[in-house]
Structure 1
Amino acid sequence: MKDLEIKEKLKEKFRELFGECENARFFFAPGRVNLIGEHTDYNGGHVFPCALSMGTYACVKKRQDGLFRFYSMNVESAGVITADEDSYKPLEDKQWASYLKGVIWAFQKRGVSFPTGLDLVLYGNIPNGSGLSSSASLEVLMGSILKEMYGLSVSFPEIALIGQYSENNYNGMNCGIMDQFASAMGKKDHAIFLDTATLEFSYAPLVLTDYALIITNTNKKHKLIGSAYNDRRRESEDALKILQKFAEIKTLGDLSDEEFFQLEEKLEDPIIRKRAKHAVLENNRTIAAKKALEEGNYHEFGRLMNLSHVSLRDDYEVSCEESDLLCDTAWSLPYVLGSRMTGGGFGGCTVSLVKRDKIKDFEEELQKVYEPKIGYRCSFYEAEIADGPREL
């Protein structure tokens, strides 16, 4: 569906639920795909994501009282969720709207008060559980809505940080900054090279003529909260504390590969050593991948993507049978330069660099292997690299 069609659907649903939508406003925030640099964003490393044309849309109108009312066309069974001042319950709120409420709560923690509430109808076209960051899209969308509807002087990098804060402290998910930053700062036909330790960033042009980025959804639903994600963060922090006794570093991202290999024996626990190895080497791979892309060396970029997946599979242990099968199959095809899992892991998607005139062959080959082995089909999307949040 195009923006105009989605606006009409949102209007129709808004009228049905909340009455007249004259003076209602429409907003969008994108999902993201990460090209390389996974699980480095909370380890002080670099990430290399881009915003997607898929994302979350909202029709919004101010109310006369202080209530916030939320409805999602993707979770119709939940009905209208109403939030008053007593309903913000960090770490207890498990409704889908907790991602929106968490952002309101985080703004309030910064001393922002909202004189009136909002009625809000949402529609998202990011596949649920795909690892393309629907949660960050929701958070950035809510931050953008509050900025525009109440005239708040908050920058988009700040909106990303507020989204991360709310997901950490309201939703209990210890994510890094990448997802929210990629959604908030997206730029069409560019990837974002972000140093997560300093939030310094630059845009790298990503106009692929002969190749395409194909996202393959395992269709295995992954749920990060309460999963091994928070364990990985803790294990990485344990490794950092030990290594700081032997090296002047603030984050694992401060180490070169050589420095890590000189120090790795100090990490006696083999699990913690593997986690740190991934964080350090993945960061340096990401720096090398940006250079390769700038030089137009797509073969080297693809090789680094492959190494990234192997490291996520073997050292960080966040892959799964479905993602591994998709990558193994992609690696066997001569017209695929690289393929890796993307996102937090335990399901979700892979991203592959595929010769543009072989996309159909690629999809047929992966499906042919995947469905008989896994028992259901995978899905494909060509990554359209898009701008960040906007008012429609």
Structure 2
Amino acid sequence: MNETPNAGAGSATTALAAHGFAEWYGRRPAGVWSAPGRVNLIGEHTDYNDGYVFPFAIDRRTAVALGDRDDRVIRVASAFSPEAVTVHLDELTPDAVSGWAAYPLGVAWALGEFGADLAHVRGVDLYVASDVPIGAGLSSSAAIECAVALALDEHWGLGLDRPTLAKVGRLAENRAVGAPTGIMDQSASLLGEADTGVFLDCRSLDADVIPLGFTADGLSVLVIDTRVEHAHASGGYAARRASCEAGARALGVESLRDIGPDDLARAAELLDDETFRRVRHVVTENQRVLDTVRTLREQGPGAIGPFLDASHVSMRDDFEISVPELDLAVATAQANGAIGARMTGGGFGGAAIALMIDALVPIVTAEVLAAFAERGYREPAVFTVQADEGARRDG
């Protein structure tokens, strides 16, 4: 992982955070930290099933500017809210705040759950700015959590390592925000490196940084943000997790990680049709992650397309988390020469990704925009992303 103190200093988001802090609080910040959003190349809804995921950090970031206080109050403001939220450290609980402020303030609370002595730290002022699209399935939430976690860890001298900070972010999202997500997003945001993916075993939390080779092979990852917003704290995500847990119980295993492709015939006999399809997605998706990493190492990125395509079919038909806009984005990219395409993120909206040679980017972009217009859908945001480094101090 990269630890360059001033890497990326002067970027637009970092500058916006520093400027916003000065405008809001009337002084310069003590420092600015940033963390990226992520694209999950493959491995959807496998993380909370103790499975495998393969995301990469992207070159869209959230920055948090921090300044010290002489009391024990945390105050947080942002570029996307007209009001600041204030809470005393002695009154900080998972239920103390709601809305967007639950992400940064939930992290402050969660640090105490991982051994930080919050009774002996001073309060801080925070200001958050971001260019990670909200609701697009690119994990804008984890970008906030990881930027704040790194900032507070350093400023308060806590000395927590990055895998622990990923757990802090997950706890904040689960308890303070109320979203039953796994640890993939925070791990990608904290552990990512340029032009690499993070191959994560969500049971052991062992992470292996794998070269992607997209740049060398002249490949781009096109993101098609459908602008159909989703919310992880809403019922669809939680219902899928509950189905997975019910399937594991019925099969007598700790989690679906313990079920392999050879066990699906038995699962089909024991489970109702809907639960079986949920289980089949997780089992086959775990295998697709392993196959993608192996193929990437052995044959290069141009050979992983079939796994991306199959992943989308599984999410559409077995896990039932796609929407018509995502299906159209994927089909249009595939019809116009993409190596592979799939929806990414928790589903029920958000974005699709397509891996393609660089020369096809303008062609696929134009075809996607035309297809959405023809169907009367809202115009999507279409842009490329690169695999970038993880959370860092920017100034």
- Paired residue for 2:75, among 60, 69, 72? 69
Q: Which runs of 5 or more structure 2 residues have no equivalent in the other structure?
A: 1-7
- Paired residue for 1:210, among 211, 218, 231? 218
310-319 or 79-88, which deviates more: 79-88
Residue pairs, 1:194-343, within 5 angstroms: 194-208=200-214, 209-244=217-252, 249-267=253-271, 269-333=272-336, 335-343=337-345
**Residue in 1 that maps onto 2:170:** 164
Q: Identity, % of aligned pairs?
A: 33
Q: 2:18, 2:203 → 1: CA distance? A: 42
Cα deviation, 1:319-369, whole Å, max 9, x if unaligned, reads 111101111212212x21110000000111111111211110010011110
Distance 1:92 1:220, change over 3 A: farther
Give 1:101 deviation, angstroms. Answer: 0.9
Give 1:221 deviation, angstroms. Answer: 1.3
87-96 or 222-231, which deviates more: 87-96
- CA RMSD, 1 decimal: 1.7
Q: Tell me, yes or no, if structure 1 residue 18 matches structure 2 residue 22.
A: no
**Residue in 2 that maps onto 1:137:** 143
Residue pairs, 1:42-61, within 5 angstroms: 42-61=48-67
61-70 or 257-266, which deviates more: 257-266
TM-score (norm 1): 0.93
Give 1:2 deviation, angstroms. Answer: 7.9
Letter in 2 for 1:162: V
Q: 2:44, 2:268 → 1: CA distance? A: 20
Cα deviation, 1:213-254, whole Å, max 9, x if unaligned, reads 11110011111212210111011000001111xxxx432122
Letter in 2 for 1:357: A
Distance 1:6 1:237, change over 3 A: closer
Q: 2:354, 2:12 → 1: CA distance? A: 30
**Residue in 2 that maps onto 1:147:** 153
Cα deviation, 1:75-99, whole Å, max 9, x if unaligned, reads 2x2x111111465353573221111
Distance 1:285 1:216, change over 3 A: same
Question: Is residue 33–residue 49 contact of structure 1 (8 Å, CA) maintained in 2?
Answer: yes
Distance 1:108 1:310, change over 3 A: same
Give 1:61 deviation, angstroms. Answer: 0.9
Cα deviation, 1:53-92, whole Å, max 9, x if unaligned, reads 11101111111111111111122x2x11111146535357
TM-score (norm 2): 0.93
Question: Is residue 32–residue 49 contact of structure 1 (8 Å, CA) maintained in 2?
Answer: yes
Cα deviation, 1:171-195, whole Å, max 9, x if unaligned, reads 1111011011111111111001111
**Residue in 2 that maps onto 1:383:** 385
Give 1:111 deviation, angstroms. Answer: 4.3
Distance 1:355 1:2, change over 3 A: farther
Give 1:10 deviation, angstroms. Answer: 2.9
Q: 2:330, 2:136 → 1: CA distance? A: 16
Q: 1:287, 1:271 → 2: CA distance? A: 25
Distance 1:60 1:301, change over 3 A: same
For the residue of structure 2 that corresponds to 1:336, the secondary structure is: coil
Q: 1:109, 1:213 → 2: CA distance? A: 37
For the residue of structure 2 that corresponds to 1:48, the secondary structure is: strand
